[in-house]
Amino acid sequence: MDESKLKVFIEGATRYFVQVTRLAAEVGTPYLSETNETLAYDMTGIIGISGGRKGVVYFTAPTNMLRSVLINMGERDVTHDMRLDLVGEIANTIAGNARAEFGSEFMISVPVVIAGALETVRLPKDIRAFVIPITWHSQRAAVIIALE
């Protein structure tokens, strides 16, 4: 994946936080994962990618960050289910923005949301994932892209 394609995911993530919370997210330097293990915080929204490219895009964040985003949005319900909905929405928005940029051959699934470890998610064995670190309101999260 070249820098211009990676930038689409970076811009999608930063745009989401500015539009929804009115507070910018800081993006750290993207890097290639050293292993094929999955990086995960407390909650993760996963989007399967098919069509011209195959793989996954996912957003993972700690519980406190998701709770803070909901509060910042004016939401009073910050329950476990609402935080799972939010992490799925963020992942879907980031992948949806990429689809708009890459075209109809970049097909995205509905989000799958997981609380806890990503034991059921397997990244493609022959593809190293790009990790995009994100900090919002002093809390860390990440967007992970593993595409053929």
Tell me the mean pLDDT in the region 36-60.
Answer: 87
Question: How many residues comprise the chain?
Answer: 148
Instruction: For 79-88, write each residue's pLDDT tens digit.
Output: 999 999 999 9
Looking at the predicted structure, is the pLDDT value of residue 70 above 90? yes
Give the 3-state secondary structure percentages of the chain, helix then strand then coil, rounded to 5: 35, 30, 35
Class of domain 3-147 (CATH, top level): alpha beta
Instruction: For 20-41, write each residue's pLDDT tens digit.
Output: 999 999 999 999 887 666 678 9
| 99-107 long-range contacts, CB within 8 A, separation 24+ | 101/8, 102/5, 102/8, 102/52, 102/53, 104/51, 105/51, 105/52, 105/53, 106/49, 106/51, 106/52, 106/53, 107/49, 107/50, 107/51
In 10 A of CB 46, how many CB atoms?
Answer: 24
- Nearest to 144, CA basis, from 136, 133, 135: 133
Tell me the mean pLDDT in the region 40-53.
Answer: 91
Rounded percentage of the chain residues whose pLDDT exceeds 90: 66
The H or E element containing residue 78 is: none
Name the pLDDT band for 103 (thresholds 50, 70, 90).
confident
Report how far Cα 103 is from the mean position of its chain's Cα atoms: 19
Amino acid 35: pLDDT:
64
Tell me the mean pLDDT in the region 115-135.
Answer: 78
Q: Residue ranges per domain, the chain?
A: 3-147
Cα 77 from Cα 87, distance rounded (Å) = 15
pTM: 0.91
Amino acid 79: pLDDT:
96
